[in-house]
Amino acid sequence: MNTEQKMKRVCDAWRIAAVALSIKVEAPYVIRTRDGKEVACIAHLVDFGGPNGMIIGLYSRPASETDKELKSAAESKGLFYSFINADFYERYDENEFKEALTDWGFFGDEDRRPNWLRKPLKRE
């Protein structure tokens, strides 16, 4: 399977996750670098990763490479970013997707917090 096919399958899985988990996901997503070049991403998660949301890219194996343009574009817009393994995320698995989202953290308005996602405990 080529990279374009993998990207489509992972985007499809994130669109399924959006409906199943009641989260806002734009997949696929295109972000622009500072010089205006378009960089394709798997998804933009509006309420996760940081106050401005996050974008997801693919982790390239076996070279263990990440997309430097995606990273730079995300940083320039104040977005958190994460690179995921396409082999792992090409099929929607509720528990695995929930675990990733929980790890990335919810930063959206409380009225958009999914019911399955616990509120963090307040520290005194």
* pLDDT of res. 33: 87
Q: What pLDDT score was predicted for residue 65?
A: 46
β-bridge pairing 54-58 and 80-84: parallel
Whole-number pLDDT of residue 25: 97
**Domain segments of the chain as ranges:** 3-112
What pLDDT, on a 0 to 100 scale, did the predictor assign at position 124? 61
pLDDT of 64 reads 44
Look at residue 110 and give its three-state secondary structure: helix
Q: Give the span between the Cα atoms of 53 and 101, in whole angstroms.
A: 12
State the Cα torsion 8-112-96-16 to the nearest 10°: -30
Please, what are the averages of pLDDT over each run of 10 residues along the chain (124 residues)?
A: 86 97 96 89 96 90 64 92 92 96 95 91 66
Which class for 13: exposed (0-12), middle (13-18), buried (19 or more C-beta within 10 A)?
Answer: buried
- Cα Rg of the chain, angstroms: 14
Nearest CA among 4, 6, 17, 7 for reference residue 92: 17
